[in-house]
Structure 1
Amino acid sequence: MGSFSIWHWLIVLVIVMLVFGTKKLRNIGQDLGGAVKGFKDGMKASEEPQDKAREQIQSATAPADKTVDVQAKDVNK
């Protein structure tokens, strides 16, 4: 019950190719590659808002010389 040798894997590959055919295997590979690419793009896009949020937090905690002093008015009077 040891690990499979290269010959075992080659036989399995030949059987899979005979059952599914090369065209279907190529399509499966393209679909899998597209899914991985979409996942990477999604992860990259989800990181961008976090970077923007960090920039906003850093700008909100900026030194006093860059802050604007405002006075709030009560509009209910």
Structure 2
Amino acid sequence: MGLSLPHILILAVVAVLLLGGGRFSAMMGDVAKGVKNFKKGMSEEEEASSTARTTRLQNQASLDPNPDRDLQPAKDDRPAA
């Protein structure tokens, strides 16, 4: 036994009559603001997580060997005496 469309409409009319139109709409506005703030917080958290992950990947040393490093002679920065 579920709620059909007529049952839901009757409940909505009773709620509006008991709470009043202005109070009911204000309550729905508060719910909408809460959902909007929740979504905004989730996107900010995901953005911060993504930024931290990118920074961590950039700071990791490369694991690939550099073959040119061993073939290049060492540069001596000291002036000739």
TM-score by length of 1: 0.70
- What does 1:1-77 correspond to in 2, within 5 Å? 2-63=1-62
CA distance in 2, matches of 1:7, 1:51: 47
Which runs of 5 or more residues in structure 1 are unaligned? 66-77
3-state SS in 1 of match to 2:2: coil
CA RMSD of aligned residues (A): 1.8
- 1:14-54, CA deviations, whole angstroms, 9 ceiling, x for partnerless residues? 11111011111110011000011011111111112211111
TM-score by length of 2: 0.67
Letter in 2 for 1:57: R
Larger Rg: 2
Identity of aligned residues (%): 30
